[in-house]
Structure formats: structure tokens, C-alpha cells
Amino acid sequence: MIQKQAIPTVDFTSAAFKADPYPYYANLRTYAPVHPVEKFFRGQRAWLVSRYEDAVEVLKADEIFVKNPKNAMTPEQYKKAPKMPFKSLSSNLLSVDVPDHTRLKALVHKAFSPRTVEQMRLQTDSLTMQLLDQMDAKHKRGESIDLIADYALPLPLTIIGRMLGVPDADKDKFHRWTQNFVAIGGSGSFGAILRMPGIVRFANYLRQIVRERTRNPKDDLISSLVAAREQDDQLTEDEVVAMVFLLLSAGHETTVNLIGSGLLALLQHRDQWDRLHANPEMIKSAVEELLRFVTPAEMATERYAATTTTIAGVEIPRGDLVFVLIASANRDEHRFDNPEVVDIGRQNNKHISFGQGIHYCVGAPLSRLEGQIAIPALIERFPNLTLSVPEDKLRWRSNVVLRGLEALPVKL
Ligand code: HEM
């Protein structure tokens, strides 16, 4: 029986909630699998979907749960709804529906083929070795090591920057920009985006690179995007800028958490760390288990009900926002045996960490490659690594959509 009173009010952006959202999610799955929260996103009510089966249903129903509010709302609702500023950055794959989505995704698939990703293997290997050497040198100089800043972040940040063709020297700058945008984008604070320092500069920075590649194409993804055509339909300049922005931010703000939170999970379950050290060939199932267990993108991005729809017996009115809690679905006891256990050999692990349906993650092969290289390489080099602060001193970033650590201080 559904007991709404069992669900407390929480601050979803707070570091305290982020530290352990799982008991709250378990409560939702049991008592309120489709749960309304007032002022959840840009001041609007949203329905949180927490069970695996319902999560998959919502993600796959792309004609009912749509991304563009205009395709969902009545004209009166749309007039009143807050509009997204910075259209040139935010009108991307994650904010459009069929047929625009089909066209954009086909273009990005071409530019982001499995062959391109596989070509990054050697570079990822050598960058990993370089970062491990730098950590070793820091350790020898008596400096403290933070696995996020020294390892989990620079790897995906450098790789996505190189794939796109953004100068290596600018990567710290674009990380600062995307971090601000990602943090604000999911926090429900609509006006904050407008006040975000540097957002206009960032859009202009990307536009300049896009224009430069239009004039002088290189062997990089931005040049391929500029050149890509599907049925004679070239991307507009705004669409290229939005795509580059999405790939840059999604390309590292998530994988940093797979590597960072994944390593923390192994440190907290030392038997699994040791098991992977002794059996490095288990890395593929280990990465899948870490993707499930830590779920770097904790919830899917927003969707709007295009028609009044019933999910798990709860009616969601037309025009309302819906968020799928991926992290909750990945711990659903009706889908996974012992979901609270980390088992790097887990079979039948159909987690939904990369989403489902038409918006399934473009970067899944790249992040798997990075995780499968970075995690065993670190364990191999520093098998006795431990946390250098008590677990309850670890700070989680306050962000709604993503879940990741601010820092992960360790001793080698
Ligand atoms: C562990 C790493 C990653 C995780 C957990 C992750 C997760 C996700 C999820 C859950 C979605 C679907 C969101 C929704 O339906 O609302 C998504 C979409 C997307 N991801 Fe990732 N992602 C990761 C890495 C990457 C990387 C490395 C890239 C780029 C190189 C990337 C680019 C994208 C793009 C462009 C989309 C939008 C696809 C579409 O709308 O059709 N992601 N990702």
C-alpha cells in the first residue's frame, strides 16, 4: 500500500543527501514509486520514477515522455512555462524530440563511430601511465594525492578535449565552465544560469573554434561535425556549438564519477579490489558492476508528459515534468539479486546507467574504454592504496543529476 507520509522532504542538491541517497530511494520504491515533488526543477513540480520496470517504460516511451516542453504542453501551459536561456548551448540532443533528434543523433554517430573510439585506446593507455607517474612523483615529494583531481578527472577531460579538437591548454577553462553549467542546469534555479559567470564567453569560445574549423578543417570531431551531412542536411552553426558543448560536458562530467566513485566503491569493498587485482581479466564485468553500483548519472534528464498518463497506478498530468531515478532503478531488488552488494563478477547485470531508448548515451563505448583502462591500471600500480581521510569526511558535489565526489584523498 502506498503511504505518502512515509516520504520525507529532502534537499536533493545537498551534499548530505548525495552522501547516501539510497535509503530514500528504497523508501520511494516501496511506498511511492511515482512521487510528486513541488518546485523540483526550474520552480516546477516533477514526478520521480524510482522502480526499474517503470524507469525503463518511461525512458522508452519517447512519444509520451518528450524532451521539448512545446511538444508536451497546451499552448496556455507553454506560455506560462519558464524558457531555457542560452538556446545556442541548451538546444541539443537531450532537449529535442523526433524528427530533429533522429537527424542530430545520426550526425553524431557518424562523427563518433566505434572506430574513432577504439583509436583512442593507445592515447588513453599512455595518458593513464603519465598520470600514474605524476602521482608517484607527487607522493615521493611528500605531496598529498587526490584521486579525483590527479586521476579520475584529467583522463576523460583530456581525451574528450582531444577528440573534439579543443586545445589541451584550454581544458581547465572548459572544465570550470561545464562544471558550473552542469551544476546549475539540474538545480532547479532557473535564473542562476543567466547570472552564471563566463557563460557568454564560453558560448563565444566554442563558436570561435567551430568557425575556425569551418575555415580550416582538421582531423578532429568538431571538423567532422561541421562537415557531417545526413540526407543533405547539414548542422546549423548553433547546432554544432550545442553538440560540442554537450559532448564536452557529458564527455567528462560523468566518466570522472565512474572512475572516482568506482574506485571508492572498490576501496570500501576491499575484497573486490583484491579480487580485481588478482583477476584483471574480470575488468569488463567489474566496470558494468561499478556503473550499476555508483550510477554516475544519478537521474535521467527532464522529460515532459505529452498526454495524461498512468505509471504504476499514478496519474501524471499532461505537461508535467518527469525524472527517472536511474540510481534507484539500478538498486531495485525486483530486478537485481542483492542489489546492495558489490560483485565485480555479477552476471545478468542489465543496469540502465547509460539510459534507454532513443536518448541512450552516445559516449557509452568511450567511457567503458576509459574505465576499463584507468581502474585496473591504478590497482596494478598501487595495490596497497588506501583512503587518507575517514569515509565520513568525504564530500559529495551538490548536483541533482550527477553524483560524484569533490575529492578523494588517498595514500599510495
Ligand atoms: C560513465 C559515463 C557516462 C554516463 C553514466 C552517461 C550517462 C548518460 C545517460 C543516462 C544518458 C541519457 C540521459 C537521458 O535519457 O535523459 C546519456 C546521454 C548522453 N550522453 Fe552520456 N554518459 C556517460 C558518458 C558520456 C560520454 C563520455 C559522452 C561523450 C563523449 C556522453 C555523451 C552523451 C550524449 C551526447 C547524450 C545524449 C544522447 C541523446 O540524447 O540521444 N556521455 N548519458
CATH number at residue 68: 1.10.630.10
Number of domains in the chain: 1
363 Cβ below 6 A of ligand 1: yes
Q: Of all residues in the chain, what percent are helix, strand and coil, respectively (each to 5)?
A: 55, 10, 35
The residue-averaged pLDDT of 66-89 equals 83
pLDDT score recorded for residue 6: 72
Q: Which of 248, 288, 301, 362 to mutate to test the pocket of ligand 1 (most atoms within 8 A of CB)?
A: 362
354 Cβ below 6 A of ligand 1: yes
Residue 229 CB contacts under 8 Å (≥ 6 apart), including other chains: 107
Q: What is the C-alpha radius of gyration for the chain, rounded to an integer number of angstroms?
A: 21
The residue-averaged pLDDT of 215-223 equals 90
The residue-averaged pLDDT of 333-345 equals 97
Q: Which three cell numbers stand for residue 331?
A: 538498486
How many Cβ atoms from other residues are within 10 Å of residue 76's Cβ? 9
d(CA 94, ligand 1 centre) in Å: 9
Q: Which three cell numbers stand for residue 321?
A: 515534468
d(CA 360, ligand 1 centre) in Å: 7
Give the lowest-confidence range in 150-154, 186-190, 373-377, 399-403: 186-190
Residue predicted with more confidence, 196 or 125: 125
pLDDT score recorded for residue 284: 97
pLDDT score recorded for residue 91: 72
- What does the pLDDT look like over 310-321, one tens digit per residue? 999 999 999 999
The residue-averaged pLDDT of 197-213 equals 82
Q: What is the SS3 assignment for 193?
A: helix
**Residues spanned by the domain of 111:** 4-411
72 Cβ below 6 A of ligand 1: no
Residue predicted with more confidence, 14 or 342: 342
* Structural element, H or E, at residue 179: helix 171-185
Residue 59 CB contacts under 8 Å (≥ 6 apart), including other chains: 65, 300, 324, 352, 355, 356, 357, 359
* Band of pLDDT at residue 199, cut at 50, 70 and 90: low
In this predicted structure, the answer to whether residue 229 has a pLDDT above a threshold of 70 is no
d(CA 385, CA 378): 9
- Nearest protein Cα to ligand 1, atom 21: 361
pLDDT score recorded for residue 8: 85
d(CA 54, CA 311): 7
Average pLDDT over the chain, rounded to whole? 88
Helical residues (DSSP H) of 84-170, grouped into ranges: 87-90, 100-111, 114-118, 121-140, 147, 154-164
| Residue 112 alpha carbon, nearest atom of ligand 1 | 30
pLDDT score recorded for residue 119: 85
Cα–chain-centroid distance for residue 83?
23
How many Cβ atoms from other residues are within 10 Å of residue 106's Cβ? 13
pLDDT score recorded for residue 224: 84
361 Cβ below 6 A of ligand 1: yes
The residue-averaged pLDDT of 257-285 equals 97
d(CA 267, CA 274): 9
In this predicted structure, the answer to whether residue 361 has a pLDDT above a threshold of 90 is yes
